[in-house]
Amino acid sequence: MQEVYELRKELDRQHEIVLVGDSDHFEFTPSNPWVAVGWRKPKQIKVDLPDTMKKHGIEFHGQGVKRLNPESNRLELNDETTVEYDYLVIATGPKLAFEEVEGLGPDGGHTQSVCKTGHAESSFTDFEALVKNPGPVVVGAAPMASCFGPAYEYIFILDTELKKRKMRDKVPMHFVTPEPYIGHLGLDGVGDTKSLMESEFRDRHIQWTTNAKITKVGDGTMEFTEVDEDGNDKKQHELPFKHSMILPAFKGVDAVMDIEGLTNPRGFILIDDHQRNPTYKNIYAVGVCVAIPPVGPTPVATGAPKTGYMIESMVTATTHNIAAELRGGEPDERGTWNAVCLADFGDTGVAFVALPQIPPRNTNWASRGKWVHLAKIAYEKYFLHKVRTAKTEPYYEKTIMKLIGVERLKESR
């Protein structure tokens, strides 16, 4: 969304901008854990795209892409129509690889998800069943997962809601993760996230298992293997559950999978320092679909997350680089890939700043407090306002970020 707005702002009206998606609405994904416990209705975090795009001079197609043909600069859409392009920005997000673990996922499996708003809505239905018939809860992430924040948010928000209903004592909770330690987050921690998260788990009486490789999910049972520091199987576990939310591994979407020179083996888009694909020079990529190596080896494979502000820096760099090419120049901007994150825990939360996101860092800071919960609520309203009004980076946002040392673009060398 931000990409098309920034391009529309940067380029004059002689340049046609087309947005192709697989849905007629935008979802504010960070609010999905709230949807999953009934704190938000799906309609509250959605923005209708056809009318919004038309209002801002952007052509929109919501059929979804069946296949990208980079040799001919063409997209095949799911309704058999095609869209041709001069420049393409891939911002598809991931394919949710539930199929990599037997029994995982909300569609034909036995676990819930907060990766999509529709999934979160289904998870709320399952949560209501838990309230009527309390029992154990298992939350966590599958092997090769890269986005761990929503799992932490969800288990703490669930804990908070169950306490409000005076029934937390009837619901044992267990957190199962491939991370080598609690608070790793796919980033080797940020600041003191290890101690902060472990303290939160202890305060809330939540058990945890790290270095865990989920192997199979049945109807009410979860099987996983705990491995040692060398990656060797150490102990087999089987946990019962009445309600479970497990984040899956991510892959590239089918439309780009196995295109030589464009993607890595898991379908993520290969890019250079300027967000441009090295093989197809008129293709850029931003966000979760981008290929980024993991932060160091871990006993159970994990990926590196692409956090919100990191993605915004990719978007700004891409916009400037495409504009430079259209003026006859070469791409010269690079995103900072800085991370500024607010993780809501229902009644408190953890904020962290990692500059840059991938170590080694110039800034490595984390803090816990009720203010984070309130800031997350404010940010939700602010971001949805930006989407509805086609705002990119208002001066006050830019000023606040500068005050804490956060920039979207690297200084030219």
Dihedral sign computed on CA atoms, order 154, 159, 164, 168 = positive
Check whether residue 182 and residue 127 sit in a common domain. Answer: yes
Query: What does the pLDDT read at residue 396?
Result: 52
242 with 120, same domain: the answer is yes
Based on the residue annotation, tell me whether 289 is a catalytic residue of this protein. Answer: no
Task: Answer whether 101's CB lies under 8 Å from 89's CB.
Answer: no
Cα(332)–Cα(225) distance, rounded to whole angstroms? 46
The answer to whether residue 365 sits within a structural domain is no
Kindly report the CATH number assigned to the domain that includes residue 168.
Answer: 3.50.50.60
115 is catalytic: no
Query: Is the previous residue joined to 356 through a cis bond, with omega within 30 degrees of 0?
Result: yes
Q: State residue 397's pLDDT score.
A: 63
**137 plus 274 within the same structural domain:** no
- Same domain, yes or no: 140 and 171: yes
Candidates 37, 147, 259, 262; catalytic one: 147
Same domain membership, residue 193 and residue 109:
yes
Same-domain pairing of 208 and 175: yes
Contacts of 7 (CB under 8 A, 6+ apart): 15, 17, 89, 319, 322, 323
Round to whole Å and give the CA distance between 17 and 398.
25
C-alpha torsion 308→314→318→320, nearest 10: 90
Asked if 219 and 281 sit in the same domain, the reply is no
Tell me the C-alpha distance between 88 and 85, whole Å: 6
Name the domain boundary from 313, 333, 353. 333
What span, in angstroms and rounded, lies between the C-alpha atoms of 216 and 222? 6
CATH number at residue 23: 3.50.50.100
Does residue 347 lie within any of the structural domains? Answer: no
Domain boundary among the residues 284, 300, 333 is at 333
Choose, from 88, 206, 239, 341, the residue flagged as catalytic. 341
Concatenate the DSSP letters of all residues of 185-223 into one string. TTTT-STTHHHHHHHHHHHTTEEEE-SEEEEEEETTEEE
* Mean pLDDT, each 10-residue run in order, the chain (413 residues): 87 94 96 98 97 94 97 98 98 97 97 98 98 98 97 98 98 98 96 96 98 98 97 96 98 98 98 98 97 92 91 94 96 92 96 90 94 95 92 65 72 58
C-beta neighbour count of 392 within 10 angstroms: 19
- Claim to verify: residue 107 and residue 244 sit in the same structural domain: yes
Alpha-carbon span 155 to 353, nearest angstrom: 22
Domain co-membership, 210 together with 320: no
- Flag whether 377 is in a domain: no
**Could you give the CA distance from residue 264 to residue 391 in angstroms, rounded to a whole number?**
33
HEC assignment per residue over 355-377? ECCCCCCCEEEEEECHHHHHHHH
- Tokens for 97, please give them: 């690889």
Residues 118 and 231 in one domain: yes
Expressed in percent and rounded to 5, the helix, strand and coil fractions of the chain are 30, 25, 45
| Residue indicated by tokens 């790793």 | 184
The amino acid present at 361, given as its one-letter code, is R
What is the distance between the alpha carbons of residues 284 and 378, in angstroms, rounded to a whole number? 31
Phi, psi of 222 (to 5 degrees): -125, 125
> Of 333, 356, 385, which residue sits at a domain end?
333
| Total number of domains in the chain | 2
Q: How many CA atoms lie within 13 A of 25 on its CB side?
A: 14
Same domain, 212 and 160: yes
Domain range for 212: 98-249
pLDDT computed for residue 395 by the predictor: 53
Is 408 inside any structural domain? no
Same domain (yes/no): 65, 111: no
Q: How far is CA 412 from CA 16, 332, 336, 362, 408, in A?
A: 29, 8, 11, 18, 12
Domain presence at residue 391: no
Question: Does 410 map to a domain?
Answer: no
